[in-house]
Structure 1
Amino acid sequence: MAIAQETKAHTHPKMKISSRSIVLWVGVVFMVVFCLAPALWQVLTSFKTNAAISALPTIYFPSFSDLTWDHYTSLGAGFWRYVFNSALVSLLSTLLCLGLGAPAAYTLARIKLPGESLILGGILIVSLFPYVLLFLGLLEIVKFVGLGNNYLALIVPYSAINLPLTILVLRSFFQQLPRDLEDSAKMDGYSTVQMLLKIMIPLTIPALVTTGILAFIFAWNEFIFALTFVTRDAMKTIPVAVAQIGGSSVYEIPYGPIAAATVVGTLPLLVLVLFFQRRIVQGITAGAVKG
Protein backbone atom coordinates (compact mmCIF):
# COMPACT_ATOMS: atom_id res chain seq x y z
CA MET A 1 0.00 0.00 0.00
CA ALA A 2 2.80 2.39 0.88
CA ILE A 3 4.58 1.58 -2.37
CA ALA A 4 1.41 2.32 -4.34
CA GLN A 5 0.96 5.69 -2.62
CA GLU A 6 4.60 6.57 -3.25
CA THR A 7 4.24 5.64 -6.91
CA LYS A 8 1.10 7.75 -7.15
CA ALA A 9 2.87 10.68 -5.59
CA HIS A 10 5.68 10.43 -8.13
CA THR A 11 3.21 10.02 -10.96
CA HIS A 12 1.25 13.15 -10.04
CA PRO A 13 3.74 15.66 -8.66
CA LYS A 14 2.37 18.88 -7.30
CA MET A 15 2.89 21.87 -9.55
CA LYS A 16 4.48 24.74 -7.68
CA ILE A 17 4.33 28.14 -9.32
CA SER A 18 6.26 30.81 -7.51
CA SER A 19 5.05 34.39 -7.30
CA ARG A 20 8.29 35.47 -8.97
CA SER A 21 7.46 33.43 -12.09
CA ILE A 22 3.97 34.92 -12.22
CA VAL A 23 5.32 38.46 -11.97
CA LEU A 24 7.90 37.68 -14.66
CA TRP A 25 5.34 36.35 -17.13
CA VAL A 26 2.93 39.19 -16.42
CA GLY A 27 5.74 41.64 -17.13
CA VAL A 28 6.67 39.86 -20.36
CA VAL A 29 3.06 39.84 -21.58
CA PHE A 30 2.65 43.51 -20.67
CA MET A 31 5.80 44.52 -22.57
CA VAL A 32 4.79 42.51 -25.64
CA VAL A 33 1.33 44.06 -25.69
CA PHE A 34 2.74 47.52 -25.02
CA CYS A 35 5.21 47.24 -27.92
CA LEU A 36 2.93 45.53 -30.44
CA ALA A 37 -0.36 47.29 -29.69
CA PRO A 38 0.33 50.41 -31.84
CA ALA A 39 1.44 48.29 -34.80
CA LEU A 40 -1.52 45.93 -34.47
CA TRP A 41 -3.91 48.89 -34.21
CA GLN A 42 -2.43 50.34 -37.40
CA VAL A 43 -2.94 47.03 -39.20
CA LEU A 44 -6.50 46.79 -37.91
CA THR A 45 -7.24 50.36 -39.03
CA SER A 46 -5.99 49.57 -42.52
CA PHE A 47 -8.69 46.88 -42.85
CA LYS A 48 -11.61 48.71 -41.17
CA THR A 49 -14.20 50.56 -43.19
CA ASN A 50 -14.42 54.34 -42.89
CA ALA A 51 -17.61 54.01 -40.88
CA ALA A 52 -15.94 51.61 -38.43
CA ILE A 53 -12.90 53.88 -38.13
CA SER A 54 -14.99 56.94 -37.25
CA ALA A 55 -17.53 55.07 -35.11
CA LEU A 56 -18.06 56.13 -31.49
CA PRO A 57 -17.46 54.36 -29.21
CA THR A 58 -14.35 52.95 -30.85
CA ILE A 59 -14.72 49.49 -32.38
CA TYR A 60 -11.85 47.40 -31.06
CA PHE A 61 -13.10 44.05 -32.36
CA PRO A 62 -14.80 44.68 -35.73
CA SER A 63 -17.07 42.16 -37.37
CA PHE A 64 -16.57 40.90 -40.93
CA SER A 65 -18.97 43.56 -42.20
CA ASP A 66 -16.64 46.24 -40.80
CA LEU A 67 -13.58 44.96 -42.72
CA THR A 68 -12.55 45.87 -46.27
CA TRP A 69 -9.64 45.75 -48.73
CA ASP A 70 -10.57 49.11 -50.27
CA HIS A 71 -7.84 51.07 -48.48
CA TYR A 72 -5.14 48.90 -50.04
CA THR A 73 -6.66 48.98 -53.51
CA SER A 74 -7.05 52.77 -53.26
CA LEU A 75 -3.27 53.13 -53.10
CA GLY A 76 -3.08 52.11 -56.75
CA ALA A 77 -0.27 50.53 -58.72
CA GLY A 78 1.67 53.81 -58.62
CA PHE A 79 2.38 53.31 -54.92
CA TRP A 80 4.77 50.47 -55.81
CA ARG A 81 6.86 53.08 -57.61
CA TYR A 82 7.44 54.76 -54.26
CA VAL A 83 8.40 51.40 -52.76
CA PHE A 84 10.91 50.92 -55.56
CA ASN A 85 12.36 54.41 -55.00
CA SER A 86 12.83 53.77 -51.28
CA ALA A 87 14.37 50.36 -51.93
CA LEU A 88 16.76 51.73 -54.56
CA VAL A 89 17.94 54.67 -52.48
CA SER A 90 18.24 52.62 -49.29
CA LEU A 91 20.11 49.74 -50.94
CA LEU A 92 22.59 51.89 -52.85
CA SER A 93 23.30 54.15 -49.89
CA THR A 94 23.84 51.10 -47.66
CA LEU A 95 26.22 49.47 -50.13
CA LEU A 96 28.14 52.72 -50.56
CA CYS A 97 28.34 53.18 -46.79
CA LEU A 98 29.67 49.64 -46.23
CA GLY A 99 32.01 49.88 -49.23
CA LEU A 100 33.66 53.00 -47.82
CA GLY A 101 33.33 52.14 -44.15
CA ALA A 102 34.96 48.68 -44.20
CA PRO A 103 38.35 49.79 -45.63
CA ALA A 104 38.37 52.88 -43.40
CA ALA A 105 37.61 50.79 -40.31
CA TYR A 106 40.30 48.25 -41.21
CA THR A 107 42.83 51.04 -41.68
CA LEU A 108 42.02 52.58 -38.30
CA ALA A 109 42.15 49.15 -36.63
CA ARG A 110 45.50 47.98 -38.03
CA ILE A 111 47.55 51.04 -38.95
CA LYS A 112 48.88 53.50 -36.39
CA LEU A 113 48.07 56.84 -37.95
CA PRO A 114 49.35 60.17 -36.65
CA GLY A 115 46.55 61.86 -34.73
CA GLU A 116 44.53 58.65 -34.56
CA SER A 117 42.77 59.70 -31.35
CA LEU A 118 41.71 62.96 -32.97
CA ILE A 119 40.38 61.10 -36.00
CA LEU A 120 38.37 58.70 -33.84
CA GLY A 121 37.11 61.56 -31.71
CA GLY A 122 35.97 63.43 -34.81
CA ILE A 123 34.19 60.34 -36.13
CA LEU A 124 32.45 59.87 -32.78
CA ILE A 125 31.34 63.51 -32.66
CA VAL A 126 29.99 63.34 -36.20
CA SER A 127 28.08 60.13 -35.42
CA LEU A 128 26.38 61.89 -32.48
CA PHE A 129 25.67 65.10 -34.41
CA PRO A 130 21.94 65.64 -35.19
CA TYR A 131 21.74 65.19 -38.93
CA VAL A 132 18.77 67.58 -39.18
CA LEU A 133 21.14 70.46 -38.43
CA LEU A 134 22.94 69.64 -41.70
CA PHE A 135 19.79 70.28 -43.70
CA LEU A 136 20.36 73.89 -44.79
CA GLY A 137 24.00 73.30 -45.69
CA LEU A 138 23.17 70.19 -47.71
CA LEU A 139 20.36 72.04 -49.44
CA GLU A 140 22.75 74.72 -50.64
CA ILE A 141 25.20 72.05 -51.84
CA VAL A 142 22.45 70.20 -53.72
CA LYS A 143 21.33 73.42 -55.39
CA PHE A 144 24.89 74.41 -56.27
CA VAL A 145 25.82 71.03 -57.74
CA GLY A 146 22.45 70.65 -59.47
CA LEU A 147 21.46 67.34 -57.89
CA GLY A 148 17.85 68.30 -57.24
CA ASN A 149 15.36 65.60 -58.29
CA ASN A 150 18.17 63.09 -58.49
CA TYR A 151 18.61 59.88 -56.52
CA LEU A 152 22.19 60.94 -55.72
CA ALA A 153 20.78 63.85 -53.70
CA LEU A 154 19.57 61.23 -51.20
CA ILE A 155 22.10 58.42 -51.65
CA VAL A 156 25.19 60.53 -50.90
CA PRO A 157 23.87 62.26 -47.73
CA TYR A 158 22.44 59.02 -46.35
CA SER A 159 25.77 57.27 -46.87
CA ALA A 160 27.69 60.12 -45.25
CA ILE A 161 25.38 60.22 -42.22
CA ASN A 162 25.65 56.47 -41.60
CA LEU A 163 29.38 56.23 -42.36
CA PRO A 164 30.74 57.25 -38.90
CA LEU A 165 28.69 54.62 -37.06
CA THR A 166 29.70 52.00 -39.62
CA ILE A 167 33.39 52.81 -39.16
CA LEU A 168 33.21 52.65 -35.36
CA VAL A 169 31.36 49.32 -35.29
CA LEU A 170 33.51 47.61 -37.92
CA ARG A 171 36.73 48.92 -36.36
CA SER A 172 35.90 47.21 -33.07
CA PHE A 173 35.33 43.94 -34.91
CA PHE A 174 38.56 44.18 -36.88
CA GLN A 175 40.46 44.81 -33.66
CA GLN A 176 39.18 41.53 -32.20
CA LEU A 177 40.44 39.45 -35.12
CA PRO A 178 43.89 37.90 -34.48
CA ARG A 179 46.78 39.29 -36.47
CA ASP A 180 47.99 35.76 -37.15
CA LEU A 181 45.38 35.50 -39.89
CA GLU A 182 46.88 38.46 -41.70
CA ASP A 183 50.43 37.24 -41.23
CA SER A 184 49.50 33.85 -42.70
CA ALA A 185 47.72 35.52 -45.62
CA LYS A 186 50.75 37.69 -46.37
CA MET A 187 52.98 34.63 -46.35
CA ASP A 188 50.62 33.03 -48.88
CA GLY A 189 51.04 36.01 -51.19
CA TYR A 190 47.81 37.87 -50.50
CA SER A 191 47.81 41.60 -51.10
CA THR A 192 46.14 43.93 -48.61
CA VAL A 193 43.03 44.26 -50.78
CA GLN A 194 42.77 40.48 -51.31
CA MET A 195 43.25 39.86 -47.61
CA LEU A 196 40.53 42.36 -46.76
CA LEU A 197 38.03 41.00 -49.30
CA LYS A 198 38.67 37.26 -48.91
CA ILE A 199 39.57 36.87 -45.23
CA MET A 200 38.76 39.85 -43.02
CA ILE A 201 35.38 40.94 -44.38
CA PRO A 202 33.87 37.40 -44.42
CA LEU A 203 34.79 37.11 -40.73
CA THR A 204 32.90 40.33 -39.95
CA ILE A 205 29.65 39.40 -41.72
CA PRO A 206 27.55 39.79 -38.53
CA ALA A 207 28.85 43.34 -38.05
CA LEU A 208 28.32 44.16 -41.73
CA VAL A 209 24.74 42.88 -41.58
CA THR A 210 23.97 44.77 -38.37
CA THR A 211 25.36 48.11 -39.53
CA GLY A 212 23.95 47.58 -43.01
CA ILE A 213 20.43 47.04 -41.70
CA LEU A 214 20.68 50.10 -39.46
CA ALA A 215 21.81 52.18 -42.44
CA PHE A 216 19.05 50.68 -44.61
CA ILE A 217 16.33 51.44 -42.04
CA PHE A 218 17.54 55.03 -41.64
CA ALA A 219 17.50 55.62 -45.39
CA TRP A 220 14.09 53.95 -45.72
CA ASN A 221 12.46 56.07 -43.02
CA GLU A 222 14.19 59.43 -43.62
CA PHE A 223 11.72 62.20 -44.41
CA ILE A 224 13.19 65.73 -44.35
CA PHE A 225 15.82 65.28 -47.05
CA ALA A 226 13.51 63.18 -49.22
CA LEU A 227 10.79 65.82 -48.99
CA THR A 228 13.07 68.73 -49.95
CA PHE A 229 15.71 67.35 -52.30
CA VAL A 230 13.28 65.39 -54.49
CA THR A 231 10.05 67.08 -55.61
CA ARG A 232 9.26 65.04 -58.72
CA ASP A 233 6.31 62.76 -57.97
CA ALA A 234 7.79 59.74 -59.77
CA MET A 235 10.91 59.86 -57.55
CA LYS A 236 9.31 60.26 -54.13
CA THR A 237 10.03 57.77 -51.36
CA ILE A 238 7.48 56.06 -49.13
CA PRO A 239 7.58 58.49 -46.14
CA VAL A 240 6.88 61.44 -48.43
CA ALA A 241 4.20 59.57 -50.37
CA VAL A 242 2.41 58.57 -47.16
CA ALA A 243 2.55 62.12 -45.78
CA GLN A 244 0.97 63.49 -48.96
CA ILE A 245 -2.00 61.11 -49.09
CA GLY A 246 -5.10 63.29 -49.08
CA GLY A 247 -8.81 62.77 -48.67
CA SER A 248 -11.71 63.76 -50.86
CA SER A 249 -11.79 67.17 -49.18
CA VAL A 250 -9.43 69.43 -47.27
CA TYR A 251 -11.14 68.60 -43.97
CA GLU A 252 -11.02 64.82 -44.36
CA ILE A 253 -8.15 62.78 -42.97
CA PRO A 254 -7.89 59.46 -44.83
CA TYR A 255 -6.96 57.29 -41.86
CA GLY A 256 -7.61 54.05 -43.75
CA PRO A 257 -5.37 54.70 -46.79
CA ILE A 258 -2.65 56.18 -44.55
CA ALA A 259 -2.71 53.07 -42.34
CA ALA A 260 -2.62 50.81 -45.42
CA ALA A 261 0.33 52.74 -46.87
CA THR A 262 2.29 52.54 -43.63
CA VAL A 263 1.67 48.80 -43.39
CA VAL A 264 2.88 48.27 -46.97
CA GLY A 265 5.90 50.48 -46.32
CA THR A 266 6.81 48.64 -43.11
CA LEU A 267 6.50 45.09 -44.43
CA PRO A 268 9.84 45.14 -46.35
CA LEU A 269 11.69 46.21 -43.19
CA LEU A 270 9.92 43.53 -41.17
CA VAL A 271 10.85 40.83 -43.67
CA LEU A 272 14.44 42.09 -43.79
CA VAL A 273 14.86 42.03 -40.02
CA LEU A 274 13.24 38.60 -39.66
CA PHE A 275 15.41 37.17 -42.44
CA PHE A 276 18.65 38.47 -40.91
CA GLN A 277 17.67 38.25 -37.24
CA ARG A 278 20.33 35.64 -36.43
CA ARG A 279 23.06 37.76 -38.01
CA ILE A 280 21.79 40.83 -36.19
CA VAL A 281 21.96 39.08 -32.82
CA GLN A 282 25.46 37.83 -33.63
CA GLY A 283 26.55 41.32 -34.60
CA ILE A 284 25.16 42.85 -31.41
CA THR A 285 26.55 40.24 -29.03
CA ALA A 286 29.88 39.47 -30.71
CA GLY A 287 31.24 42.91 -29.91
CA ALA A 288 30.95 42.16 -26.19
CA VAL A 289 32.77 38.80 -26.33
CA LYS A 290 36.45 38.47 -27.05
CA GLY A 291 38.41 35.37 -27.88
Structure 2
Amino acid sequence: MTTTVPESQPRSAHQHGVRRIVLPVAVVLTVLFCLAPILWQLLTSFKTDAAIAEIPNVYFPRPDQLTLDQYQKLFERRPFFNYIFNSFLVSLASTVLALGIGAPAAYALARLKLQGERIMLAAVLIVTLFPPILLFLGLLDIVRYFNLGNNYLSLIIPYTAINLPLTILVMRSFFQQLPKDLEDAARVDGYSTPRMLLDIVLPMTIPALATTGILTFISAWNEFIFALTFITREDLKTVPVAGAQLGGASPFEIPFGPIAAATVLGTIPLVLLVLFFQRRIVQGLTSGAVKG
Protein backbone atom coordinates (compact mmCIF):
# COMPACT_ATOMS: atom_id res chain seq x y z
CA MET A 1 0.00 0.00 0.00
CA THR A 2 1.41 3.37 -1.05
CA THR A 3 0.58 6.77 0.32
CA THR A 4 0.79 10.10 -1.53
CA VAL A 5 2.41 12.99 0.28
CA PRO A 6 0.75 16.29 -0.68
CA GLU A 7 3.00 19.08 -1.81
CA SER A 8 3.62 21.58 0.95
CA GLN A 9 3.59 24.55 -1.43
CA PRO A 10 1.94 24.94 -4.83
CA ARG A 11 4.23 25.52 -7.76
CA SER A 12 2.54 28.81 -8.62
CA ALA A 13 3.26 30.18 -5.14
CA HIS A 14 6.90 29.09 -5.46
CA GLN A 15 7.23 30.80 -8.84
CA HIS A 16 5.65 33.96 -7.43
CA GLY A 17 8.17 33.97 -4.59
CA VAL A 18 11.09 33.59 -7.01
CA ARG A 19 9.72 36.39 -9.17
CA ARG A 20 9.47 38.70 -6.17
CA ILE A 21 13.18 38.14 -5.51
CA VAL A 22 14.55 38.08 -9.04
CA LEU A 23 12.69 41.13 -10.35
CA PRO A 24 13.94 43.66 -7.76
CA VAL A 25 17.49 42.30 -8.07
CA ALA A 26 17.37 42.63 -11.86
CA VAL A 27 16.07 46.20 -11.57
CA VAL A 28 18.80 47.17 -9.10
CA LEU A 29 21.54 45.65 -11.27
CA THR A 30 20.21 47.39 -14.38
CA VAL A 31 20.09 50.76 -12.61
CA LEU A 32 23.63 50.30 -11.26
CA PHE A 33 24.88 49.31 -14.71
CA CYS A 34 23.37 52.46 -16.24
CA LEU A 35 24.44 54.83 -13.45
CA ALA A 36 27.97 53.46 -12.93
CA PRO A 37 29.66 55.64 -15.61
CA ILE A 38 27.84 58.74 -14.33
CA LEU A 39 28.80 57.98 -10.74
CA TRP A 40 32.40 57.33 -11.81
CA GLN A 41 32.64 60.71 -13.57
CA LEU A 42 31.00 62.48 -10.64
CA LEU A 43 33.40 60.98 -8.10
CA THR A 44 36.39 61.61 -10.36
CA SER A 45 35.49 65.29 -10.59
CA PHE A 46 35.82 65.57 -6.81
CA LYS A 47 39.00 63.48 -6.41
CA THR A 48 42.44 64.91 -5.85
CA ASP A 49 45.06 64.38 -8.54
CA ALA A 50 46.82 61.86 -6.33
CA ALA A 51 43.62 59.84 -5.85
CA ILE A 52 42.95 59.87 -9.60
CA ALA A 53 46.46 58.61 -10.41
CA GLU A 54 46.58 56.08 -7.57
CA ILE A 55 46.96 52.39 -8.46
CA PRO A 56 44.84 50.36 -7.81
CA ASN A 57 41.96 52.67 -8.66
CA VAL A 58 40.20 54.50 -5.88
CA TYR A 59 36.54 53.85 -6.60
CA PHE A 60 35.15 55.51 -3.48
CA PRO A 61 37.49 58.26 -2.24
CA ARG A 62 38.06 58.96 1.42
CA PRO A 63 37.17 62.42 2.83
CA ASP A 64 40.82 63.50 2.62
CA GLN A 65 40.81 62.58 -1.10
CA LEU A 66 37.90 64.89 -1.96
CA THR A 67 38.43 68.40 -3.31
CA LEU A 68 36.92 71.12 -5.49
CA ASP A 69 40.24 71.83 -7.19
CA GLN A 70 39.16 70.13 -10.43
CA TYR A 71 36.33 72.61 -10.91
CA GLN A 72 38.62 75.48 -9.98
CA LYS A 73 41.19 74.32 -12.55
CA LEU A 74 38.45 74.00 -15.17
CA PHE A 75 37.37 77.61 -14.83
CA GLU A 76 40.94 78.86 -14.54
CA ARG A 77 41.91 77.22 -17.86
CA ARG A 78 38.75 77.90 -19.87
CA PRO A 79 35.72 80.27 -19.72
CA PHE A 80 33.37 77.33 -19.20
CA PHE A 81 30.29 79.41 -18.39
CA ASN A 82 30.68 80.96 -21.83
CA TYR A 83 30.68 77.48 -23.40
CA ILE A 84 27.50 76.59 -21.51
CA PHE A 85 25.87 79.79 -22.75
CA ASN A 86 26.85 78.98 -26.34
CA SER A 87 25.41 75.47 -26.11
CA PHE A 88 22.24 76.77 -24.48
CA LEU A 89 21.73 79.48 -27.12
CA VAL A 90 22.31 77.16 -30.08
CA SER A 91 20.19 74.34 -28.64
CA LEU A 92 17.32 76.61 -27.63
CA ALA A 93 17.23 78.43 -30.98
CA SER A 94 17.29 75.20 -32.99
CA THR A 95 14.60 73.67 -30.76
CA VAL A 96 12.28 76.67 -31.13
CA LEU A 97 12.77 76.70 -34.91
CA ALA A 98 12.21 72.95 -35.21
CA LEU A 99 8.97 73.15 -33.22
CA GLY A 100 7.85 76.34 -34.93
CA ILE A 101 8.30 74.83 -38.39
CA GLY A 102 7.62 71.17 -37.63
CA ALA A 103 4.37 71.55 -35.65
CA PRO A 104 2.43 73.39 -38.42
CA ALA A 105 3.82 71.00 -41.02
CA ALA A 106 2.77 68.02 -38.91
CA TYR A 107 -0.72 69.49 -38.45
CA ALA A 108 -1.08 69.98 -42.19
CA LEU A 109 -0.01 66.39 -42.87
CA ALA A 110 -2.39 65.08 -40.20
CA ARG A 111 -5.51 67.10 -41.06
CA LEU A 112 -5.31 68.21 -44.70
CA LYS A 113 -5.74 65.94 -47.68
CA LEU A 114 -2.60 66.81 -49.60
CA GLN A 115 -1.56 65.46 -52.96
CA GLY A 116 1.53 63.30 -52.63
CA GLU A 117 1.11 62.97 -48.87
CA ARG A 118 2.51 59.45 -48.83
CA ILE A 119 5.54 60.54 -50.82
CA MET A 120 6.19 63.42 -48.41
CA LEU A 121 5.88 61.15 -45.38
CA ALA A 122 8.20 58.60 -46.97
CA ALA A 123 10.74 61.34 -47.68
CA VAL A 124 10.54 62.59 -44.09
CA LEU A 125 11.01 59.05 -42.77
CA ILE A 126 14.02 58.44 -45.04
CA VAL A 127 15.64 61.69 -43.90
CA THR A 128 15.06 60.66 -40.27
CA LEU A 129 16.92 57.38 -40.88
CA PHE A 130 19.74 59.13 -42.76
CA PRO A 131 22.97 59.39 -40.69
CA PRO A 132 23.74 63.09 -40.09
CA ILE A 133 27.48 62.46 -40.50
CA LEU A 134 26.90 61.77 -44.21
CA LEU A 135 25.68 65.36 -44.58
CA PHE A 136 28.96 66.73 -43.27
CA LEU A 137 30.75 67.49 -46.54
CA GLY A 138 27.68 69.05 -48.13
CA LEU A 139 27.05 71.23 -45.09
CA LEU A 140 30.71 72.24 -45.02
CA ASP A 141 30.45 73.49 -48.61
CA ILE A 142 27.29 75.41 -47.76
CA VAL A 143 28.90 77.01 -44.70
CA ARG A 144 31.88 78.08 -46.81
CA TYR A 145 29.72 79.41 -49.64
CA PHE A 146 27.57 81.59 -47.36
CA ASN A 147 30.54 82.49 -45.12
CA LEU A 148 28.80 81.17 -42.00
CA GLY A 149 31.91 79.83 -40.29
CA ASN A 150 32.36 80.93 -36.68
CA ASN A 151 28.73 81.95 -36.54
CA TYR A 152 25.90 80.60 -34.42
CA LEU A 153 23.85 80.13 -37.59
CA SER A 154 26.33 77.51 -38.82
CA LEU A 155 25.05 75.28 -36.00
CA ILE A 156 21.47 76.47 -35.55
CA ILE A 157 20.44 75.85 -39.17
CA PRO A 158 21.90 72.29 -39.46
CA TYR A 159 20.56 71.29 -36.05
CA THR A 160 17.10 72.54 -37.01
CA ALA A 161 17.17 70.70 -40.34
CA ILE A 162 18.40 67.45 -38.78
CA ASN A 163 15.80 67.43 -36.00
CA LEU A 164 12.91 68.67 -38.15
CA PRO A 165 11.90 65.25 -39.63
CA LEU A 166 11.65 63.65 -36.19
CA THR A 167 9.60 66.61 -34.96
CA ILE A 168 7.20 66.28 -37.88
CA LEU A 169 6.71 62.54 -37.41
CA VAL A 170 6.13 62.74 -33.65
CA MET A 171 3.80 65.74 -33.83
CA ARG A 172 1.85 64.29 -36.78
CA SER A 173 1.20 61.10 -34.81
CA PHE A 174 -0.04 63.17 -31.89
CA PHE A 175 -2.29 65.36 -34.06
CA GLN A 176 -3.86 62.26 -35.60
CA GLN A 177 -4.92 61.06 -32.16
CA LEU A 178 -6.59 64.35 -31.21
CA PRO A 179 -10.39 64.32 -31.58
CA LYS A 180 -11.33 66.23 -34.73
CA ASP A 181 -14.78 66.94 -33.29
CA LEU A 182 -13.32 69.66 -31.08
CA GLU A 183 -11.99 71.51 -34.11
CA ASP A 184 -15.28 71.16 -35.96
CA ALA A 185 -17.16 72.47 -32.93
CA ALA A 186 -14.79 75.44 -32.70
CA ARG A 187 -15.42 76.32 -36.34
CA VAL A 188 -19.17 76.14 -35.73
CA ASP A 189 -18.72 78.56 -32.81
CA GLY A 190 -17.04 81.03 -35.14
CA TYR A 191 -13.35 80.38 -34.37
CA SER A 192 -10.94 81.28 -37.14
CA THR A 193 -8.24 78.75 -37.97
CA PRO A 194 -5.37 80.65 -36.24
CA ARG A 195 -7.46 81.28 -33.13
CA MET A 196 -8.61 77.65 -33.05
CA LEU A 197 -5.02 76.43 -33.28
CA LEU A 198 -3.84 78.76 -30.51
CA ASP A 199 -6.77 78.43 -28.09
CA ILE A 200 -7.80 74.79 -28.55
CA VAL A 201 -5.19 72.69 -30.35
CA LEU A 202 -2.05 74.19 -28.80
CA PRO A 203 -2.99 73.55 -25.13
CA MET A 204 -3.68 69.91 -25.94
CA THR A 205 -0.32 69.49 -27.70
CA ILE A 206 1.88 70.93 -24.93
CA PRO A 207 2.93 67.44 -23.66
CA ALA A 208 3.96 66.40 -27.18
CA LEU A 209 5.73 69.72 -27.75
CA ALA A 210 7.63 69.32 -24.47
CA THR A 211 8.68 65.75 -25.28
CA THR A 212 9.76 66.56 -28.84
CA GLY A 213 11.45 69.78 -27.75
CA ILE A 214 13.53 68.05 -25.09
CA LEU A 215 14.66 65.38 -27.56
CA THR A 216 15.65 68.11 -30.02
CA PHE A 217 17.40 70.14 -27.32
CA ILE A 218 19.43 67.17 -26.08
CA SER A 219 20.42 66.23 -29.63
CA ALA A 220 21.65 69.76 -30.35
CA TRP A 221 23.39 70.06 -26.97
CA ASN A 222 25.39 66.85 -27.40
CA GLU A 223 26.32 67.28 -31.09
CA PHE A 224 30.09 67.29 -31.61
CA ILE A 225 31.28 66.94 -35.23
CA PHE A 226 29.54 70.00 -36.68
CA ALA A 227 30.41 72.14 -33.67
CA LEU A 228 34.05 71.05 -33.88
CA THR A 229 34.35 71.88 -37.59
CA PHE A 230 32.16 74.93 -38.14
CA ILE A 231 33.26 76.81 -34.99
CA THR A 232 36.95 77.53 -34.38
CA ARG A 233 36.74 80.71 -32.33
CA GLU A 234 37.36 80.02 -28.67
CA ASP A 235 34.53 82.29 -27.47
CA LEU A 236 31.94 80.49 -29.65
CA LYS A 237 32.71 76.86 -28.82
CA THR A 238 30.10 74.59 -27.27
CA VAL A 239 30.41 72.35 -24.21
CA PRO A 240 31.21 69.02 -25.99
CA VAL A 241 34.00 70.60 -28.04
CA ALA A 242 35.44 72.57 -25.14
CA GLY A 243 35.42 69.50 -22.89
CA ALA A 244 37.16 67.37 -25.52
CA GLN A 245 39.86 69.99 -26.09
CA LEU A 246 40.86 70.41 -22.48
CA GLY A 247 44.62 70.11 -22.16
CA GLY A 248 47.01 69.57 -19.29
CA ALA A 249 49.95 71.60 -18.11
CA SER A 250 52.14 69.71 -20.60
CA PRO A 251 51.47 67.82 -23.85
CA PHE A 252 51.96 64.56 -21.97
CA GLU A 253 49.40 65.25 -19.23
CA ILE A 254 45.77 64.18 -19.53
CA PRO A 255 43.61 66.30 -17.18
CA PHE A 256 41.21 63.59 -16.06
CA GLY A 257 39.88 65.72 -13.19
CA PRO A 258 38.94 68.83 -15.22
CA ILE A 259 37.52 66.62 -18.00
CA ALA A 260 35.28 64.88 -15.45
CA ALA A 261 34.26 68.25 -14.02
CA ALA A 262 33.43 69.49 -17.53
CA THR A 263 31.34 66.37 -18.13
CA VAL A 264 29.37 66.91 -14.92
CA LEU A 265 28.77 70.60 -15.61
CA GLY A 266 27.74 69.84 -19.19
CA THR A 267 25.22 67.24 -18.02
CA ILE A 268 23.61 69.22 -15.17
CA PRO A 269 21.51 71.49 -17.47
CA LEU A 270 20.06 68.46 -19.25
CA VAL A 271 19.23 66.74 -15.97
CA LEU A 272 17.52 69.87 -14.64
CA LEU A 273 15.60 70.26 -17.90
CA VAL A 274 14.30 66.69 -17.80
CA LEU A 275 13.37 66.96 -14.11
CA PHE A 276 11.56 70.26 -14.68
CA PHE A 277 9.49 68.91 -17.58
CA GLN A 278 9.13 65.40 -16.17
CA ARG A 279 5.34 65.51 -15.94
CA ARG A 280 5.00 66.90 -19.45
CA ILE A 281 7.31 64.20 -20.81
CA VAL A 282 5.28 61.43 -19.20
CA GLN A 283 2.06 62.94 -20.54
CA GLY A 284 3.54 63.23 -24.01
CA LEU A 285 4.69 59.62 -24.02
CA THR A 286 1.54 58.09 -22.56
CA SER A 287 -1.25 60.28 -23.91
CA GLY A 288 -2.23 61.55 -27.26
CA ALA A 289 -5.96 62.02 -27.11
CA VAL A 290 -8.54 63.79 -25.00
CA LYS A 291 -11.05 61.36 -23.64
CA GLY A 292 -14.50 62.70 -23.00
TM-score, length basis structure 1: 0.92
Query: In the TM superposition, what is the alpha-carbon distance from 1:80 to its structure 2 partner?
Result: 0.1
Match of 1:147 in 2: 148
Cα deviation digits, residues 38-75 of structure 1 (max 9, x gap)? 10000000000111011011112211111110110112
Which runs of 5 or more structure 2 residues have no equivalent in the other structure?
1-15
Match of 1:230 in 2: 231
Q: Does 123-132 or 181-190 show the bigger shift?
A: 181-190
Query: In the TM superposition, what is the alpha-carbon distance from 1:261 to its structure 2 partner?
Result: 0.4
Match of 1:242 in 2: 243
2:107–2:171: 8 Å Cα contact kept in structure 1?
yes
Query: In the TM superposition, what is the alpha-carbon distance from 1:188 to its structure 2 partner?
Result: 2.6
SS at match of 2:249: coil
Q: Give the letter for the 2:28 counterpart.
A: V
Match of 1:181 in 2: 182
SS at match of 1:61: coil
Match of 1:76 in 2: 75
Q: Does 178-187 or 124-133 show the bigger shift?
A: 178-187
State the alpha-carbon separation in 1 of the partners of residues 55 and 241 from structure 2: 31
Question: Is 1:67–2:53 an aligned residue pair?
Answer: no
Q: Give the letter for the 1:215 counterpart.
A: T
Question: Is 1:43–2:42 an aligned residue pair?
Answer: yes
Match of 2:26 in 1: 27
CA RMSD of superposed structures (Å): 1.5
State the alpha-carbon separation in 2 of the partners of residues 47 and 123 from structure 1: 45
Query: In the TM superposition, what is the alpha-carbon distance from 1:101 to its structure 2 partner?
Result: 0.6
State the alpha-carbon separation in 1 of the partners of residues 191 and 19 from structure 2: 57
State the alpha-carbon separation in 1 of the partners of residues 242 and 160 from structure 2: 22
Match of 1:11 in 2: none
State the alpha-carbon separation in 2 of the partners of residues 227 and 107 from structure 1: 36
Cα deviation digits, residues 146-198 of structure 1 (max 9, x gap)? 11111011001101100001001111111111121111221232222222222
Which runs of 5 or more structure 1 residues have no equivalent in the other structure?
1-16
Q: Give the letter for the 1:64 counterpart.
A: P
State the alpha-carbon separation in 1 of the partners of residues 182 and 290 from structure 2: 16
Match of 1:8 in 2: none
State the alpha-carbon separation in 1 of the partners of residues 177 and 26 from structure 2: 37
Query: In the TM superposition, what is the alpha-carbon distance from 1:135 to its structure 2 partner?
Result: 0.5
TM-score, length basis structure 2: 0.91
Q: Give the letter for the 2:140 counterpart.
A: L
Paired positions, count? 275
Query: In the TM superposition, what is the alpha-carbon distance from 1:138 to its structure 2 partner?
Result: 0.3
State the alpha-carbon separation in 1 of the partners of residues 89 and 188 from structure 2: 41
Q: Percent identity at matched positions? A: 67
Query: In the TM superposition, what is the alpha-carbon distance from 1:266 to its structure 2 partner?
Result: 0.2
Query: In the TM superposition, what is the alpha-carbon distance from 1:273 to its structure 2 partner?
Result: 0.6
